[in-house]
Amino acid sequence: MGKDVLFVCGSDAHGTPIVVNAEAQGMTPKALVARYHQHFDEVFKGMGVDFNFFGDTDDDACHNRTQEIVRALMAEGHVYSKDIELAYCPKCERFLPDRYVEGECPYCGKPARGDECDMGCGRHLEPGEIKNAVCKVCGGKAEYRKQTHYFFRLSQFKDFLLCYLETLGGTASARNYAMEWVRQELKDWCITRNMAWGVKFPGHEDLVVYVWVDAPIGYIAFTEEWCAKNGVDWQSYWKSDAQIVHFIGGDIVYHHCIFWPAMLKGAGYTLPSAVVASGMLKIDDKKFSKSRGNVIWVKDDYLEKGLHPDLLRYYLASYTAHNKEVNFAWKIFADKVNTELVGALGNFINRALTFTAKNFDSRVPQGEIDPEVMTRIGQTLNEVVSGLEEYEFKKAIDSVMALADYGNIYFQSHEPWKLVKGDKAAAGAVLRSCLQIAKALAVLMQPVMPTKMEAAWKQLGLDGSVAERSFQEAIAPLAEGRLLGTPEILFSRMEEKFVNELDAIFKKRMEEAESKGKAKDKSAEKKAEISFEQFGSMDIRIGEIKEAGAIKGSKKLIKLQVDIGGEVRQVVAGIAGAYSANELVGTQVVVLTNLKPTKLFGVDSQAMLLAADVEGKAVLLQPRESVKTGTKVR
Ligand SMILES: [Zn+2]
Ligand SMILES: [Zn+2]
């Protein structure tokens, strides 16, 4: 469309989910971020998503820009300090920012975690707001302790935001959603957290800024990094009349339409002119969920199965309006590929090219391009441009596909295969018109299917790359007599057998997740109440393992001799998967001694060891301090 565009994106490196995750995996947040960043970069490239710059919010540029913006906000009086009550875990001896804490939403009462009510009303939650807070790390009850934090005077931006949102472009749903929030409640925003990982709050070594301060500042930092490499002044994008357009997921509208413009306004930067929020993704009509296995991985399940990136790009962009839910299912995917890409678009381009190759010596035939065809192409061009300007991508693509359908009908109804026998000139004019349509299709569909349309461009014998041509090229007439390239099939049918194989991989993942979930449910199952007498009837003692050995033929069981205080019992325990026999000797264990003796694998077992059941794997219980063998447990 002839616009100077800089396309930046990046990985959001900070925030508690990353720290919690890194702790769980025994790695540093930095290493965890690097791993995901590389993966995202690879998958984006594999899908032909061509950013000018793909950065990371832990880059120096982002640290520096964030500190500069926070200092500017402080200098303008937009930041103040206040003592607040924060969730604190006495057992872990630390404050519990964001994802470290779980509890109840103070607004709707639904279970909420940290900074958002993601299962209920969807509100952003301020530190200390969550009720009945529980430490996510140890599961212990949190207490509330006073601490000094810094706040951004968001409430003073209410009038500004109401005016600004009125003029904000992009998807109406994002704008209206944000406006509703601003009208209802606009509290000052706590912008500091007690954490080591993140961008340091200026002048406070023990505080970092809240992740939603530095995450969007990444957009500026990535621009700066690209500009530094390319000798461009970054201020020409962020302190000028440039248009800033954000493409985001529908779940982060609050941050992009409220926090972000208020920060930019307060610090004196260019305000976004549009926020385009996409709808949620569903797989097989069910909410996308990693834990439930309701997920299809672009790398493993798609690209590595040899599927072309352009097909998925087409699916996602054409499935529905950008702000509506996208549903992905292999059957629908195959149907769209076979009907729309193979049957309509690919078929038309291939028919026009092969017919010309056969009957006109692979040259664009002589003859006037049908004015009706030119009008029709011009109309499509206008629809594509207006569709893109309104961020209605489906509208633009539908219009291009309608042109392909028109092409098929034009070819079919003008019957060039009959004309060529009697009136070759008339057949030539029909074919030149069809080739013009094919050229327009390649130009207008290029942003959605860059590789496939580049191939079509080459088959049409055109110079250079279609990616470098403007949409206006669609109405530039193909020169008569021009030599065409070799026609080749652009899209191949997806065979049912292959589609079923792909679907089976997905279904299997769902089933595995479900059985895992069931195992979890079972362990969470509550049992009927028992009396103290019933509990007291169990003779539980501390024992010490004296000997341990394998049981021939069993992978699960270990035979143990356990001293329970002056008496040695033989115990058969299903712990071979978790422990090796020789590491157990000398270990103190908790033993239920009056369980009825039994035979396991033909070996006598005269007591039972107590263990935690961690997804089917046994973890032996032990007294916290070493105690005398035979000590009673009650
Ligand atoms: Zn809520
Ligand atoms: Zn804790």
DSSP 10: E
pLDDT value at position 553?
78
Ligand nearest to the CA of 88: 2
CATH of the domain at 370: 1.10.730.10
190 CA to middle of ligand 1, Å?
18
In a domain, 592, yes or no: yes
Nearest to 243 by CA among 278, 216, 270: 270
Mean of the pLDDT values across residues 411-437?
A: 97
Domain co-membership, 556 together with 588: yes
pLDDT given for residue 625 in this prediction: 86
Q: What is the mean pLDDT of residues 150-168?
A: 97
Centre of ligand 1 to C-alpha 103, Å, is: 11
The verdict on residue 123 lying in a domain is: yes
Strands 131-135 and 169-170: unpaired
Q: Distance, CA 66 to ligand 1 centroid (Å)? A: 30
Let me know if residue 166 belongs to a domain: no
User: CA-to-CA distance for 158 and 337, rounded, in angstroms?
Assistant: 48
Ligand 2 centroid vs 88 CA: distance in angstroms?
8
| Mean local confidence (pLDDT), 570-577 | 88
In this predicted structure, what is the pLDDT of residue 251?
86
Question: In terms of pLDDT, which residue wins out, 528 or 268?
Answer: 268
Same domain, 305 and 407: no
404, pLDDT greater than 80: yes
- The residue among 312, 331, 350 that closes a domain is 331
- Report CA(85)–ligand 2 centroid distance (Å): 17
Any idea of the CA torsion for 432, 436, 441, 444, to the nearest 10 degrees?
170
Q: Residues 359, 471: one domain? A: yes
Q: Phi, psi (5° rounding) for residue 630?
A: 100, -5
Give me the pLDDT at residue 525, please: 62
Same structural domain for residues 221 and 293? no
CA distance 378 to 471: 10
- pLDDT band at residue 516, thresholds of 50, 70 and 90? confident
Question: Which of 85, 115, 90, 110 lies closest to 100 in space, CA to CA?
Answer: 115
pLDDT band for position 256 (50/70/90)?
A: very high
Scanning 477-621, the segments in alpha helix (DSSP H) are 496-524, 532-536, 581-584
Instruction: Provide mean pLDDT across the span 263-282.
Output: 95
* Nearest ligand to the C-alpha atom of residue 129: 1
404 alpha carbon – ligand 2 mean position (Å)? 61
pLDDT value for 541: 94
pLDDT of residue 524: 61
Q: Which ligand minimizes its atom distance to the CA of 109? A: 1
Distance 358 CA to ligand 1 centre (A): 67
- Interior CA angle at 260 toward 256 and 263, to 5°? 170
More confident residue, 324 or 266: 266
Q: For 57-71, 89-103, 535-549, which range has the lowest pLDDT when averaged over its residues?
A: 89-103
**Residue 276, pLDDT above cutoff 90:** yes
Whether residue 507 lies inside any domain: the answer is no
pLDDT (tens digit per residue) in 87-120:
899 998 888 888 889 999 999 999 988 888 888 8
Stretch 200-213: mean pLDDT: 95
- Ligand 1 centroid–CA 107 distance in Å is 5
Burial grade of 25 (CB within 10 A; 0-12, 13-18, 19 or more): exposed
Q: Which ligand is nearest to the CA of 110?
A: 1
Q: Is the pLDDT of residue 300 over 80?
A: yes
Element (H, E) at 95: strand 94-95
Q: Do 286 and 371 have their domain in common?
A: no
Strands 281-283 and 326-328: parallel
Smallest-distance ligand from the CA of 120: 1
Six-digit token string for 57: 């919010």
Q: Identify the bridge partners of residue 572 per DSSP, sorted by sequence position.
A: 559
Q: Which ligand is nearest to the CA of 122?
A: 1
For residue 280, report the phi and psi dihedrals to the nearest 5 degrees. Answer: -75, 160
Residues 146 and 247 reside in one and the same domain: no
Q: What is the pTM of this model?
A: 0.79
Distance 138 CA to ligand 2 centre (A): 4
In degrees and rounded to multiples of 5, residue 72 shows phi and psi of -65, -40
Number of residues that make up the chain: 634
Q: Tell me which amino acid residue 581 is.
A: A
Q: Are residues 60 and 150 in the same domain?
A: no
Write out pLDDT tens, residues 437-451: 999 999 999 999 999
Mean pLDDT along residues 516-536 = 75
In the predicted structure, residue 273 carries a pLDDT above the cut 70: yes
Taking the centre of ligand 2 as the mean of its atom positions, its distance from the CA of residue 101, in whole angstroms, is: 9
CATH of the domain at 205: 2.170.220.10
Is the residue at 531 inside a domain? no
The DSSP line for 181-232 is HHHH----EE-EES-SSSPEETTEEEEEE-HHHHHHHHHHHHHHHHHHHHT-
Q: What is the pLDDT of residues 325-378, one digit of tens each?
A: 999 999 999 999 999 999 999 999 999 999 999 999 999 999 999 999 999 999
Ligand 2 center to 198 CA (angstroms): 21
d(Cα 625, Cα 441) in Å, to the nearest integer?
Answer: 76
Tell me how far the alpha carbon of residue 87 lies from the centroid of ligand 2, in angstroms: 10
- Helix H or strand E segment including 539: none
What is the distance between the alpha carbons of residues 469 and 563, in angstroms, rounded to a whole number?
84
The model's pLDDT over 233-242, given as tens digits with 9 standing for 90+, comes to 999 999 999 9
Q: What is the pLDDT of residue 614?
A: 76
Question: How many whole angstroms from 136 Cα to the centroid of ligand 2?
Answer: 7
**Measured in angstroms, how far is the CA atom of residue 95 from the centroid of ligand 2?**
9
> Ligand 1: distance of its center to the CA of 34 in Å?
33
Mean pLDDT of the chain: 93
Residue 531's pLDDT is 84
Q: Is the pLDDT of residue 527 over 80?
A: no
Token pair listed for 333: 């995917």
- Residue 566: pLDDT band by 50, 70, 90 thresholds? confident
- C-alpha distances in Å from residue 629, one per residue of 305, 486, 564, 572, 626: 59, 86, 6, 19, 9
The answer on pLDDT for 616 being more than 80 is: no
Of 124-128, 364-368, 401-405, 564-568, the least confident: 124-128
Q: What is the 14 CA–ligand 2 centroid distance (Å)?
A: 21
C-alpha to C-alpha distances, 37 to 47, 58, 217, 304, nearest whole angstrom: 15, 11, 17, 19
> What is the distance in A from the centroid of ligand 2 to the CA of 393?
47
Same structural domain, 543 and 593: yes
Average pLDDT over residues 479-503: 96
Q: Does the structure show a pLDDT above 90 at 321?
A: no
% the chain with pLDDT above 90: 75
Going by pLDDT thresholds of 50, 70 and 90, the confidence category of residue 523 is low
Taking a C-beta distance cutoff of 8 angstroms, is the pair 262, 160 a contact?
Answer: yes
Note whether 444 and 381 are within 8 A (CB).
yes
pLDDT band with cut points at 50, 70 and 90 for residue 599: confident
| pLDDT exceeds 90 at position 293 | no
Domain end position, chosen among 331, 353, 370: 331
Whether 202 and 216 map to the same domain: the answer is no
* Local confidence band at 521 (pLDDT 50, 70, 90 cut-offs): low
Token duo for residue 301: 């399940």
Calculate mean pLDDT across residues 477-496.
96
CATH number, domain with residue 560 = 2.40.50.140
How far, CA to CA in Å, does 135 sit from each of 83, 107, 242, 624? 21, 20, 45, 22
Residue 211 CA to ligand 2 center (angstroms) comes to 22
**Contact yes or no for 333/496 (Cβ under 8 A):** no
Residue 61 scores a pLDDT above 80:
yes
Domain membership of residue 519 (yes or no) is: no
Q: Which residues pair with 276 in a beta bridge?
A: 247
What CATH number should be reported for the domain holding residue 246?
Answer: 3.40.50.620
Please check whether residue 99 is in contact with residue 20, taking contact to mean a CB–CB distance below 8 angstroms.
yes
Q: What is the DSSP letter of 140?
A: P
Q: Could you say which of 263, 296, 331 is where a domain stops?
A: 331
Query: Which of 215-229, 279-293, 410-424 is predicted with the least confidence, judged by mean pLDDT?
Result: 279-293
- Which residues form the domain of 226? 8-64+211-278
pLDDT given for residue 574 in this prediction: 87
**Do 244 and 308 have their domain in common?**
no
The ligand that comes nearest to the alpha carbon of residue 87 is: 2
Q: Ligand 2 centre and the CA of 622: distance in Å? A: 21
Q: Is there a single domain that holds both residue 51 and residue 100? A: no
Instruction: Give the pLDDT of residue 569.
Output: 94
User: What distance in angstroms lies between residue 4's CA and the mean position of ligand 2's atoms?
Assistant: 51
Residue 108 lies in a domain: yes
At residue 128 the predicted structure's pLDDT band, cuts being 50, 70 and 90, is: confident
Distance 113 CA to ligand 2 centre (A): 15
Average pLDDT over residues 149-161: 97
Q: How far apart are the first and last CA of the chain?
A: 78
In this structure, is residue 520 part of a structural domain? no
Q: What is the DSSP string of 472-508?
A: GGGGSPPPTTPBP-----SS-PPPHHHHHHHHHHHHH
Neighbours of 631 (CB within 10 A): 14
What is the pLDDT, as a whole number, of residue 520? 66
Q: Which ligand is nearest the CA of 141, by number?
A: 2
Ligand in nearest proximity to the CA of 101:
2
Contact 100, 20 (CB under 8 A): yes
pLDDT beyond 80 at 526: no
Model pLDDT for residues 379-400, shown as the tens digit of each residue: 999 999 999 999 999 999 999 9
Q: What is the count of structural domains for the chain?
A: 5
Residues within 5 Å of ion ligand 1, judged at the Cβ atom: 105, 107-108, 117, 120-121
CA of 121, nearest ligand number: 1
Compute the average pLDDT of residues 150-162: 97
**278 burial level (CB within 10 Å; 0-12, 13-18, 19+):** buried
What is the distance in A from the centroid of ligand 2 to the CA of 116? Answer: 20
Same domain for 455 and 353? yes
Kind and range of the H or E element at 68? Answer: helix 60-75
